[in-house]
Amino acid sequence: MSVVNSSNREPEVIYSIRGAQFRGIRGRLLTTRLMARELISSRELIFRLYARDFSTKYRQSALGVLWALLVPLATVAIFAGMNSAGVFTIEEMSVPYVVYALLGISIFNLFNGVLIASTPSVVFAQNMVSKINFPKTALVFSASIHGLVDFAVRGVLLCGVFLLLKQSPHPAGSVLGVVALLPLYLFSVGVAFFSTMLNAILRDITNVVNFGCMGIMMLSPVLYPISGDSLVARFNVWNPFNYFINVPRDLILFGSSKQMVGYGIWSMISLAVFYVGWRFFFIAQNRIVERI
Amino acid sequence: MDIAIRVDSVSKKFCMRTHHIMLYGTIDLWRSFCGYQKDNSSLRSGEFWALDDISFEVKQGEAVGLIGPNGAGKSTMLKLLNGIYLPDSGRIEMYGRVGALIEVGAGFHPMLTGRENIYLNGGILGMSKAEIRRHFDEIVDFSGIEPFLDTPVRHYSSGMYVRLGFSIAVHSNPEILLVDEVLAVGDAVFRRKCLQYMKNLHKKGVTFIIVSHNMMTIEGITAQCLYFDKGKLAGDGAPGDVISLYEMSLAQKEADSGNRIKPDHEQYPDSLDLVEYWDYGTAEVHVRAVRLYDMNGEKKGRFDSDEGICVEAVLDSAIEGNVLFWLTLANSDNVACMGSLNIPYTMKKGVQNVRFTFNPLRLSTGAYKIVFVINDETGTNPYSNGHYGFFEVLKKSAVVNPGFVAPICWVEPEVESSVIIRDNSSGGTKGV
């Protein structure tokens, strides 16, 4: 048992209305350094919380992780069926529709999965957060891993579909395409910080997120290309998902994309959203706990 | 001695209603987003002070007890010290790594096994994987749940849950340990083991803050006691004095609610109050006053544990004949700590004084009341049945076993023995 016994020492931590001030951490970019310190110190916890959720999510489930495949498969099957039945017409494309749609929905589900797993994470852990002092950001980061893992599982499904349809993705583009998902992931985590925080105070946010994700999917080029001069097409000029979905998909399928400028701009914005969301959550986490 | 905890003019407010939580929560979040820290020293509509201007210091290696009625702010104080909540005004300085037992097992997942939960809960409490591995065997040994280590904790009893949670928390190597009434569910053996473990930590220099409603725990472990009442610090000092203050206050609240068949305070202003009256007394004998004297005949309300007490009852009787008095001294939990049953007396019609002397008064520190029942000669039909209080007792000398009460009717038993099995190591024989 080690016990501090030096005299005239500084407090280990000071709690005041301004938040927690830790010994030896002062100066410029204080909040950012504290955020980074918290992330590094809680990295084991993040993975342990993820492992907990993963193992308990599928522990009494017959299909287990297959659920990550079934939902996108069913969605694509419905759209493919509607397309072939002539309910709506999808313009001619150089790759099979199933590959296009499955890739689109897998990419979109990265955003969807992160947001849906993260938003109620603090509320679900309310007993823990109100009784134990630990970094609440770990809950959001660990929930965001769900989106990544589900995407990886769907990647296996995609490989199967490529083989089945005798299609091949662009070799170098596939690697670039996966890397190009990073801005979408950062954007998703940034938004998740806001939604998690708000959901702790207003429980409506969970429903808003579910409904909003469905709406965004319908308005974005996830399951069908959007072109021409329609209202939806004009909206998509400003829609970040237009770039976050099309660019990685184009890179994987064709090795290049025509939307790189918009993608670059939105990548910068996604970085800002991630930082601002994280910082906001970091500063407000104690206030959130008080109001759960 | 160095400071371990300094609390300086700390206040904390909460909302009473959900719509205020939502409204103010949204406003405060927006303000913190904009970096605007409003002066939080005033209340908005629907808010109340859970803690109001609290200041105290704890020296390193000290054990401090927080006592007070429910809703007094003890747990809120502990959460502020742990950094779960932030103060709305004032500041808290913590000089050391803090471990908290605010609710053991709060981080457990019911679907996971005990083994998985040790790693999970340890991580939540700030332990690294290497630290948990290093302490794993100690945690399991201390908790005593080894046979169930691979069973999901949802199948654990509440006692097992607490055992495991306590065991993980105390092995997280804290320099300051905050403990909030967590051992209430454990069995007596484990509770004793935990208290012993905490005493050992204390000897090693760990600073303790303990919230408990069990005054024996507080008196047995702590050297300083803080009494919280309605969010304010109502007492700060040695445990005996502060516990007494708290119990007197509780007793006063109890007395305020009892208004039946009261003593005649106009004629006997120095009488104890009626704090409880049982309906099954026929009230044919009215206890007009219950007064306390020391052995010199001086009226007193506060006694040392080694001096004598004289209880004087002024009785106004409508009956005459043989009666049996039951007179016991009970604490505020209605536990009779000493006294006597079936004291014979011949009641006369009219007003009379009856005196009962207990010398010495061997009670531990605390607030006590006189439970005075006047039964008929069969001991089954009470004429009067009231509790009168309260008076204080301060332990005079060190109490080896705090809370232990020596009865006045202390009788030396006759001791007989017979050898069942003889130790034959020195060449003896076994026999029955």
pLDDT top residue among A5 and B3: B3
Least CB–CB distance from A287: residue in B28, B106, B126:
B28
Mean of pLDDT over chain B: 82
- In degrees and rounded to multiples of 5, residue A165 shows phi and psi of -95, 10
d(CA B150, CA B159): 17
Per-residue confidence (pLDDT) for residue B252, from 0 to 100: 63
Per-residue confidence (pLDDT) for residue B408, from 0 to 100: 46
Q: Which residues of B touch A55 (CB under 8 A)?
A: 111-112, 116
Q: Which residues of B touch A121 (CB under 8 A)?
A: none
d(CA A281, CA A40): 16
Instruction: Report residue B337 as tokens.
Output: 């700590």
When pLDDT is averaged across residues A60-64 and rounded to a whole number, the result is 76
Determine whether the interchain pair B86/A17 forms a contact, defined as Cβ–Cβ distance below 8 Å: yes
Instruction: Report residue A242 as tokens.
Output: 């237009």
Is the pLDDT reported for residue B410 higher than 60?
no
Instruction: Report residue B146 as tokens.
Output: 């080894």
Per-residue confidence (pLDDT) for residue A190, from 0 to 100: 97
Q: Which residues of B touch A197 (CB under 8 A)?
A: 29
Interchain contact B287–A (C-beta under 8 A):
no
Query: How does DSSP assign B172-196, residue by residue?
Result: T--SEEEEES--SSS-HHHHHHHHH
Helix (H, G, I), strand (E, B) or coil at B138: helix
Helix (H, G, I), strand (E, B) or coil at B372: strand
Structure confidence by residue, pLDDT tens digits, B335-392? 888 888 888 899 988 889 999 998 888 788 888 999 998 888 887 777 887 888 889 9
- What residues pair up with B309 in beta bridges, in sequence order? B358
- In degrees and rounded to multiples of 5, residue B335 shows phi and psi of -90, 120
Structure confidence by residue, pLDDT tens digits, A235-247? 889 999 999 999 9
Interchain contact A237–B (C-beta under 8 A):
no
Share of chain A above pLDDT 70, in %: 96
Structure confidence by residue, pLDDT tens digits, B390-405? 899 887 754 444 445 5
Structure confidence by residue, pLDDT tens digits, A136-155? 999 999 999 988 988 888 88
Residue pair B271/B287 in contact (Cβ under 8 Å)? The answer is no
Helix (H, G, I), strand (E, B) or coil at B269: coil
CA angle, A132 then A137 then A140, to 5°:
110
Residues 108-127 of A with CB under 8 A from B: 127
Cβ neighbours of residue B157 under 8 Å, at least 6 residues apart?
none
**Which H/E stretch holds residue B317?**
strand B309-317
**Domain limits of chain A?**
29-290
Locate the chain A residue with the closest alpha carbon to B206.
Answer: A3
Residue B133 binned pLDDT confidence (cut-offs 50, 70, 90): very high
Q: Which residues of B touch A48 (CB under 8 A)?
A: 119-120, 123
When pLDDT is averaged across residues B182-210 and rounded to a whole number, the result is 80
Distance of CA B166 to the CA centre of its chain: 20
Determine whether the interchain pair A16/B87 forms a contact, defined as Cβ–Cβ distance below 8 Å: yes
d(CA A87, CA A257): 29
d(CA B151, CA A10): 45
**Which H/E stretch holds residue B58?**
strand B47-59
Q: Sort residue B235 into left (φ over 0), alpha (ψ -120 to 50) or beta.
A: beta
Locate the chain A residue with the closest alpha carbon to B3.
Answer: A7
Number of Cβ pairs closer than 8 Å across A and B? Answer: 154
Is the pLDDT reported for residue B327 higher than 50?
yes
Determine whether the interchain pair A4/B96 forms a contact, defined as Cβ–Cβ distance below 8 Å: yes
CA angle, B318 then B324 then B329, to 5°:
110
- Helices (H) then strands (E): counts for chain B: 8, 18
What domains sit in chain B, N to C, each tagged with a CATH number?
3-7+52-242 (3.40.50.300), 249-394 (2.70.50.60)
Determine whether the interchain pair B175/A2 forms a contact, defined as Cβ–Cβ distance below 8 Å: yes
Structure confidence by residue, pLDDT tens digits, B149-178? 999 998 998 888 888 888 888 888 888 988
Helix (H, G, I), strand (E, B) or coil at B228: strand
Of B182, B148, B138, B176, the residue nearest B162 (C-alpha): B182
Structure confidence by residue, pLDDT tens digits, A215-230? 999 999 988 888 777 8
Residues 55-94 of A with CB under 8 A from B: 55-56, 59-60
- In degrees and rounded to multiples of 5, residue A211 shows phi and psi of -70, -45
Query: How does DSSP assign chain A, residue by residue?
Result: ------TTPPPSEEEETTEEEETT--STTHHHHHHHHHHHHTHHHHHHHHHHHHHHHHHT-SSGGGHHHHHHHHHHHHHHHHHHTTSS-----SS-HHHHHHHHHHHHHHHHHHHHHHTTHHHHTHHHHTTS---THHHHHHHHHHHHHHHHHHHHHHHHHHHHTT----HHHHHHHHHTTHHHHHHHHHHHHHHHHHHHH-THHHHHHHHHHHHHHHHTTTSS---SS-HHHHHHHS-HHHHHHHHHHHHHHHS--S-HHHHHHHHHHHHHHHHHHHHHHHHHHHHHHHT-
Q: Is the peptide bond before B108 cis (omega within 30 degrees of 0)?
A: no
Distance from CA of B234 to the nearest CA of A (A): 23
Interchain contact B98–A (C-beta under 8 A):
yes
Determine whether the interchain pair B205/A1 forms a contact, defined as Cβ–Cβ distance below 8 Å: yes
Residues 194-223 of B with CB under 8 A from A: 201, 204-206
Determine whether the interchain pair B83/A127 forms a contact, defined as Cβ–Cβ distance below 8 Å: no
Q: Which residues of A touch B133 (CB under 8 A)?
A: none
Interchain contact A26–B (C-beta under 8 A):
no
Interchain contact A132–B (C-beta under 8 A):
yes
Residue pair B391/B251 in contact (Cβ under 8 Å)? The answer is no
In chain A, the N- to C-terminal Cα span, in Å, equals 35
Amino acid occupying residue A36? A
Per-residue confidence (pLDDT) for residue B187, from 0 to 100: 73
Interchain contact A15–B (C-beta under 8 A):
yes
CA angle, B228 then B230 then B234, to 5°:
40
Structure confidence by residue, pLDDT tens digits, A29-40? 888 998 999 999
When pLDDT is averaged across residues B101-110 and rounded to a whole number, the result is 81
Give the ipTM of the model, two decimals please.
Answer: 0.80
Cβ neighbours of residue B152 under 8 Å, at least 6 residues apart?
B110, B111, B112, B113
Residue B278 binned pLDDT confidence (cut-offs 50, 70, 90): low
Share of chain B above pLDDT 70, in %: 85
